[in-house]
Chains A and B, each alone.
Chain A
Amino acid sequence: MRRDLPFIVFFTAMMVETIGVLDSGVWINFVAMALFTTLLAQAWNLLGGFGGQFSFGHALFFGCGAYTQAILQLSGGLGAWPALALSVALAAAVGAAVGALSFRYGLRGSYFALASLAFAEVFRIGALSLDITGGGVGLMLPLQEGFSRLQFGSRKGYALVLLAFVAAALVVSSWLRHSRFGAQLQAVRDNEDAARAVGVDPFTVKLRASMMSAAFMGAAGALYLQMFQYIDPAIAFGPAISVEALVGAIVGGMGTLWGPVLGAVVLHLLAEGTRNLFGQLPGLNMVIYGAVLVLIVTFLPRGLAGLGRSALVAFAAWRERRHG
């Protein structure tokens, strides 16, 4: 029952229209960055929202994607698009490796979150120390515009590519809501022992979710490199991206289809709003993210999408009372 597909198509078409029509550089940038955050949140949502495994170091896969994209083009001489495909594949492989290690040894809950932090830190230190990643200086992609080089003159081009991945993530999320795999994944999230008793293999299910989640994070990393032509260990593996991914997903509503989109938009609106009020203060964004996280978890644990769902349920009940 893919009732979601028409909405996804409509959303994508509307976004293409919007991007095409927008003139103001500020708004195009807003849309591009909001789509970027959406992709991060959607990736986190696959493993965290649908799978119930909270990763606090999801930047691990982002960084792998970004560095692979850079290294393949700089040292490997590959084109941008083939590099993108390989970056996504590598990120998925890292997702499989980390997932296999973590789930094979039954890491859950806080222990899993801690381990994910540790993995990201290890890679960050590694990137700082190795030559191939440029050490602390990072890597820079030479500016060469062109579609085949995945570099665009205006943010519009990037926005469209990001939109393509966001749409793909929407389709995958919808598939999770209406498929056997998704049902098994959510069963493992809600009660792992009960899931095992009815034939679900938690390890395989979580592993596949980890790979899918990592793949999208890797794509986001590779696209980040293309957009900004620069990557360094702090950006690649640091807490900023990890936090953005998880806060976006939680604020929007974990385990929902549109939650990450909502969450990303709200976070960016907040960031814009506070920037207009207080100016560009380093750290202000993150303070907002942290505060919003605490507030949402306290008062709106189902996120904004949950609010929408409660409103719908309340509305349906009201209608029943009037006509019943």
Chain B
Amino acid sequence: MLEFSILFPSILGGLTTGAVYALIALGLTLIYGVLHIINFAHGAALMVALYAVYLLKSHFGIDPYLALPIVVPGMFALGYALQRGVINRASHGKDENILLVTLGISIVLENLALMAFKSDTRTIETAYTLSTVQIGPAFIALPKLVAFGGALVASTLLLLIVHRTDLGRAIRAVAKEKQGARLMGIDVDHVYAMSFGIGLGCLGAAACFLLPAYYVNPQVGSGFVLVAFTIVVLGGMGSFAGALLGGLLIGVVESLCGLFLGESLGQIGIFAIFIAVLLFRPQGLFGARA
């Protein structure tokens, strides 16, 4: 069981999945780091993005990778509108309200999808869906490899935005000290909405990379949400390095657990980690003590 030829593909598979997980988690941790809210709608938003990519392929024949310039800005706009129009207005500044509002949004989105698409699982067919690449003793599906590369590129872009642009500076200012930032003339509401938009934009990118190797149905969001939260909590709320490393780590853990415990029980490994981190080290690996 512990043969290299069995472990290696599992770990490799875990890393490629983990990279996409990391991209999802990056959006979530950005939203938490800036707005200090736990976005319960993150999974549902990913589901929306996946359906968008699916529909673009099935109705317009647009390849998922080529759909990036459509889906990412689209998700960004959705995020901006949601934050500015709904969440901001509903929260009245209280954290518990935001919790409930994002939960409500996730319920609405998931079930609208259920109504529109029924609970069928859908996949797409592309020229490269079935191609594989050989790395050592492992055969990795090409889409997964592209996903790995794409997720890393997207993450790098995100980090560049946050650390090298004016917007990024504003975001970091608001994250650190909202009132001070406001006094400096930064439009905090706008920055909030931009951050939320960027967070959802990450989901758009993740969806484009995910769909060729994966599938979509209305429940897919909730599957990702807890994994994303586990990563963010493990890595440390608001820490980008944590989200990246955490994503890769969780991807590998999930893969290995699936190998040893079987598909369905494999997920339990993740939740066990989640609960353990919440209880024993809530600040995660890189986060600050709440």
Contacts and interface: CB of A to CB of B under 8 A. Distances in A.
Nearest to B223: A121
Contacts of A114: 38, 229, 233, 274, 278
B89 interface: yes
Contacts of A24: none
Interface residues on chain A, size class: 35 or more
A251 B38 CA distance: 22
A217 interface: no
Contacts of A281: 115
Given A110-B95, A298-B89, A243 B107 contact: yes
A125 B268 contact: yes
B100 A297 contact: yes
Given A283-B111, A294-B105, A109 B264 contact: no
A20 interface: no
Interface in B97-116: 97, 99-101, 103-108, 110-115
B271 A122 contact: yes
Contacts of B92: 301
Interface residues on chain B, size class: 35 or more
Interface string B107-147: 11011111100110000000000000000000000000000
Contacts, number: 127
Contacts of B278: 105, 107, 111, 114-115, 118
B119 A287 contact: no
Contacts of A121: 226, 267, 271
A146 interface: no
Interface of A: 54, 56, 101-102, 105, 107, 109-111, 113-115, 117-119, 121-122, 125-126, 128-129, 239, 243, 246, 250, 281-287, 289-294, 297-298, 301
Given A282-B114, A283-B112, 20 more contacts: A101-B279, A105-B280, A110-B37, A111-B278, A115-B274, A117-B226, A125-B264, A125-B265, A281-B115, A283-B114, A283-B115, A284-B111, A287-B107, A289-B107, A290-B105, A293-B103, A293-B104, A294-B101, A294-B104, A301-B97
Interface of B: 37-38, 40, 86, 89-90, 92, 95-97, 99-101, 103-108, 110-115, 118-119, 218, 222, 226, 229-230, 233, 262, 264-265, 267-268, 271-272, 274-275, 278-280, 282, 290
